[in-house]
């Protein structure tokens, strides 16, 4: 019989999760280096690392080329947030970061070289990529360096720089090049050791929220529930269609990228490339509507860039989806998949993306209306997987 019963998932949000936190917590920090400044020029800043853990040494971050007087806090946060995404990807991948979130992400699809992967990630949102920090999970070669300096980039980070790459970057005096090490040592899955590590959220009231680092239980497609079943009023509701192999691959990419997107966050992916990202919204449908709007704007922007006309300008923000679709001539989300960092509370989210051609969804599950969500997915002949875990980021 088809269906994995996930009815009790919603209890997760009402269940106390106690950790092993002492009444008095002594955290020892060792200073590594001073920053150019913190988040703003009027905020001096420095970087410290946890004493008693080898993770900081594993992920040694050093400047291969300086500029602008060194790193600011946001430069460093861009790099480390990108590593939190890239650590999940074995194939070549590039994250283009802006204000600690990905504006575009691409992983290898077919035989794409690193420079092509970068260009895809950059042009997923070329307007936001202006002044970005580019982070790769492979040594950076000359062709990729040439592509990076063709537009304005604040910084670039890679595990290594191949011969000639730093010479190319030297033509841009303000661009900073950063080496990091041992990406594969970063903890990412629930079985990984995080001894001595804490996720600290400093509150303006003289308090700190201490939690364990976020670890995912999704190590591969087999860990997602692709046939979720929920019981409601003595009836059973089950997703009828399994994701295709291509959809599964994109669902995994979208889920991992979503871990680096501020909640409420949604990520839409097609062929290993982010087509649109909705982030930081107060309501789930708002994040989806933002992402749909962006998908049209970015598609129109790419067409304009390809035309290379002297009168080039970014797509204005006041156009409706219908107006942009008429100008574009197609729906940019056709065949894409969507990842939501929290459960979908109403079927309006399903109806909105189905109208745009989205074919599959991954989400935590656990809404009291999961049965309505499943009904909507089946009506639109979509696939939907549950992760049974949430990945909020604030």
pLDDT exceeds cutoff 90 at 338: yes
Position 57 scores a pLDDT of 64
Q: What is the mean pLDDT of residues 17-21?
A: 86
pLDDT exceeds cutoff 90 at 261: yes
Whole-prediction pTM value? 0.95
Position 303 scores a pLDDT of 87
Position 61 scores a pLDDT of 87
pLDDT exceeds cutoff 80 at 309: no
Nearest to 366 by CA among 6, 2, 4: 6
pLDDT exceeds cutoff 70 at 216: yes
pLDDT digits (tens, 9 = 90+) for 88-118: 999 999 999 999 999 999 999 988 999 999 9
pLDDT exceeds cutoff 80 at 54: no
Position 19 scores a pLDDT of 85
- Residues 169-177: contacts with CB within 8 Å, 24+ apart? 169/65, 169/145, 170/65, 172/67, 173/67, 174/67, 174/68, 175/65, 175/67, 175/149, 176/63, 176/65, 176/66, 176/67, 176/68, 176/70, 176/71, 176/75, 177/63, 177/64, 177/65
pLDDT digits (tens, 9 = 90+) for 136-157: 999 999 999 999 999 999 999 9
Instruction: Report how far residue 282's alpha carbon sits from residue 295's, in angstroms, rounded to the nearest whole number.
Output: 20
Q: Which residue has the higher pLDDT, 287 or 314?
A: 287
pLDDT exceeds cutoff 90 at 189: yes
pLDDT exceeds cutoff 90 at 380: yes
Position 311 scores a pLDDT of 65
Provide the terminal-to-terminal Cα distance of the chain, rounded to the nearest Å: 40
- Residues 167-176: contacts with CB within 8 Å, 24+ apart? 168/142, 169/65, 169/145, 170/65, 172/67, 173/67, 174/67, 174/68, 175/65, 175/67, 175/149, 176/63, 176/65, 176/66, 176/67, 176/68, 176/70, 176/71, 176/75
Q: Which residue has the higher pLDDT, 320 or 135?
A: 135
pLDDT digits (tens, 9 = 90+) for 238-256: 999 999 999 999 999 999 9
**Please, what are the domains in the chain?**
29-185 (3.40.140.20), 217-306+314-386 (3.40.140.20)
pLDDT exceeds cutoff 70 at 310: no
């Amino acid at each position: 019989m088809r269906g994995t019963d996930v009815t009790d998932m919603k209890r997760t949000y009402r269940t106390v999760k106690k950790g092993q936190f002492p009444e008095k917590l002594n955290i020892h920090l060792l200073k590594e280096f001073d920053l150019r400044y913190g988040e703003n020029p009027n905020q001096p800043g420095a970087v410290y690392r946890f004493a008693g853990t080898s993770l900081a040494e594993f992920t040694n971050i050093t400047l291969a080329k300086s500029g602008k007087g060194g790193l600011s806090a946001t430069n460093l946060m861009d790099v480390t947030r990108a590593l939190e995404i890239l650590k999940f990807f074995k194939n070549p991948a590039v994250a283009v970061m802006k204000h600690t979130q990905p504006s575009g992400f691409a992983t290898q699809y077919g035989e794409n070289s690193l420079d092509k992967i970068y260009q895809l990630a950059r042009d997923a949102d070329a307007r936001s990529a202006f002044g970005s920090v580019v982070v790769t999970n492979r040594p950076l070669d000359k062709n990729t360096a040439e592509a990076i300096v063709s537009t304005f980039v604040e910084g670039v980070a890679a595990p290594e720089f191949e011969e000639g790459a730093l010479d190319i970057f030297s033509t841009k005096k303000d661009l900073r090049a950063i080496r990091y090490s041992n990406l594969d040592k970063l903890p990412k899955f629930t079985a990984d050791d995080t001894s001595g590590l804490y996720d600290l959220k400093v509150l303006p009231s003289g308090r700190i929220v201490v939690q364990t680092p976020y670890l995912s239980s999704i190590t591969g497609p087999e860990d997602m529930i692709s046939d979720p079943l929920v019981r409601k009023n003595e009836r059973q509701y089950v997703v009828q269609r399994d994701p295709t192999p291509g959809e599964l691959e994109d669902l995994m990419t979208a889920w991992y990228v979503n871990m680096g997107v501020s909640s409420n966050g949604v990520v839409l992916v097609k062929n290993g490339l982010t087509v649109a990202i909705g982030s930081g919204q107060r309501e789930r449908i708002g994040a989806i509507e933002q992402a749909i709007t962006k998908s049209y704007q970015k598609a129109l922007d790419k067409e304009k860039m390809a035309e290379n006309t002297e009168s080039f300008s970014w797509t204005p923000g006041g156009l409706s989806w219908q107006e942009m679709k008429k100008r574009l001539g197609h729906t940019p989300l056709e065949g894409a998949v969507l990842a939501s960092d929290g459960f979908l509370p109403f079927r309006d989210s399903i109806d909105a993306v189905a109208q745009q051609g989205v074919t599959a969804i991954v989400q935590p599950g656990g809404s009291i209306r999961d049965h309505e969500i499943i009904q909507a997915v089946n009506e639109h002949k979509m696939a939907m997987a549950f992760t049974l875990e949430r990945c909020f980021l604030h």
